Chain A
Amino acid sequence: MKKIINDPKRVVDESVAGFGLAHADIVRVELDPVYVVRADAPIAGKVGIVSGGGSGHEPLHAGYVGFGMLDAAVPGAVFTSPTPDPILAATRAVDGGAGVLHIVKNYTGDVLNFETAAELAAMEDITVRAVVTDDDVAVKDSLYTAGRRGVAGTVLVEKIAGAAAERGDSLDEVAAVAERVNANARSMGLALTACIVPHAGEPSFDLGEDEIEIGIGIHGEPGRERVGLEPADRLVDRLLEPILGDLPFSDGDRVLLFVNGMGGTPQIELYLAYRRAAESLGERGIEVSRSLVGNFITALEMQGMSITLLRLDDEMIELWDAPVQTAALRWGR
């Protein structure tokens, strides 16, 4: 294992401290317990938005703290949900009297820890609502699984809900738009390599030189099936087809097309994949109205990508275009 680290146990603390120093104009970092909060929080009368989860997905979530997006992010250990204490502390720190929305990716650990924190916040008379994201079509949603995972669609939920909160929507309204984005977003990913969790010291799964894993999540966990490496266009089709069939997306829909890198894939490949996805959608009469390409929700140094489609309506477009000023997303301001 070769990584730019000091001590595997100090990776998150030291990285978060660096993040705070680099973006002191936007955020404030608390180290005991660890959370990242907007420099101007709490904002009186504005709904506070808190997200969080295991570290290793950077820039998610701390990179999205700032004007027009999250009020706080709570990073856990690598690929491990944060505990209730920092979630509660972050919730208190962003409560401006209008209530707090928790955006939680659907993993058992995240849901249980955020639920516990919300119960504790309720005891302090802070109104908390939670929206659980579950946009990953690779996982069967049935009684026999923990339900679909929250993956790249979470970034879109955070941007659009953040814009709604910034313009002064109520907690119920912000939660409703967040639910609507999640309900209209579908994602699927693939990996060319596994990733190495610093304290584990070895790859999270073993892939042959010519093998890829289809349907991976964002924690280096294995996916749906293992196949041989194929040309990019075929890989894009493998991701797009289940996504399109699931919502389903159809002729005349306007979408946001999001091609996300898993951390170890260069942009040149992501744009190459985007080309195929955009052409394929065009052939089906689906209009790509907005786009996002880059490493926005990652699995450490994993090579791979995910594709997300979000079916847009006018309000979502307006909120997507609204100004945002965070470390990782910044426009219009």
Chain B
Amino acid sequence: MGLDITWAVDWVRRSAEVVAEHRVELIRLDRDIGDGDHGENLDRGFEAVIPKLDDLAAGSTPGDVLKMVAMTLISTVGGAAGPLYGTAYLKAAAAAGSDASLDGPAVARVLEAARDGIVARGKAEVGDKTMIDAWSPAVEAAAAAAEAGADATAVLAAAASAAASGAEATEPLVARKGRASYLGERSVGHRDPGAQSSALLLQAAADAASESTGA
């Protein structure tokens, strides 16, 4: 069973909730190796997204929701996270196209497009201690699950689980991009806040999917 507009809207609502809930944790992570604004900025962005859900036209698709999220985050988040997440949602929206419902392979393609967008904007590679370290394993796990015939909900579950492991695996890394890179070796032992927020957002996507399909 595919994921439709109901799932997309629920994902956005859950994203706003999870970001608000983890706002302080993200601020603390960012304070350790950055400048302490990640939780605040992302919270402000998703807070601005919620009222716009009411403005969605009848017949809107998951792609329309993703595009609205992209434009709102670009204009409200700031910092590096604004353009990076904004580009991710924008590319995801393009990959989702005008389909009313996304099946397993489509979800895997949407995630891959999002990851590629972040790479294009931020030029980070796997191992640089950035959000890519959550996104890349998530994309690979999603592709493998879709290949094995998993449905959209199972693809997202695989992606969320891999993203969580990927975020955790940033802890021993030396940062090579973003503000944490200024610390060099001193960045070791801290989890990357962008990887952590990415894992939270993908978990919200998986939770919304299992809710909507009753899995």
Contact = CB atoms under 8 A, between A and B. Distances in A.
B41 A77 contact: yes
A140 interface: yes
B176 A145 contact: yes
A219 interface: yes
Interface string B129-141: 0000000000000
B178 A113 contact: no
A42 interface: no
A146 B37 contact: no
Contacts of B178: 108, 146
A107 interface: yes
A159 interface: no
Contacts, number: 103
B168 interface: no
B95 to A, nearest CB: 20
Interface size class of B (residues with CB under 8 A): 20 to 34
B153 interface: no
B84 interface: yes
Interface in A116-149: 116, 138-140, 143-146, 149
B70 to A, nearest CB: 12
Nearest to A33: B75
B78 interface: yes
B183 A113 contact: no
A112 B84 contact: yes
A175 interface: no
Interface stretch (B27-35, B106-114, B201-209): B27-35
Interface size class of A (residues with CB under 8 A): 35 or more
Contacts of A82: 78
A199 B40 contact: yes
A261 interface: no
Interface of A, secondary structure class, is loop
B68 to A, nearest CB: 15
A258 B176 CA distance: 30
A142 B31 CA distance: 23
A222 interface: yes
Contacts of A81: 78-80, 82
Contacts of A19: none
B179 A84 contact: no
A112 B83 contact: yes
B52 interface: no
A83 interface: yes
Interface in B67-105: 74-84
B183 A83 contact: no
A109 interface: yes
A12 to B, nearest CB: 11
Contacts of B121: 112
Interface string A213-243: 0000101111000000000000000000000
B24 to A, nearest CB: 9
A220 B184 contact: no
A47 interface: no
Contact of A221 (B40, B80, B174, B179): B179
Contact of B78 (A77, A140, A199, A205): A77
A109 B82 contact: yes
A197 interface: yes
A113 to B, nearest CB: 6
Given A77-B37, A80-B41, A145-B176, A109 B181 contact: no
Interface string B175-201: 011110111101000000000000000
Contact of B182 (A78, A149, A197): A149
A79 B76 CA distance: 15
- Most A C-beta atoms less than 10 A away, residue of B31, B79, B183: B79
A222 B35 CA distance: 9
A138 B183 CA distance: 10
Contact of B176 (A77, A144, A205, A221): A144
Interface of B: 27, 31, 34-37, 40-41, 44, 74-84, 121-122, 174, 176-179, 181-184, 186
Interface of A: 54, 76-85, 107-109, 112-113, 115-116, 138-140, 143-146, 149, 197, 199-200, 204-205, 217, 219-222
9 contacts: A77-B44, A79-B37, A80-B35, A80-B78, A81-B79, A83-B74, A85-B75, A109-B82, A144-B174
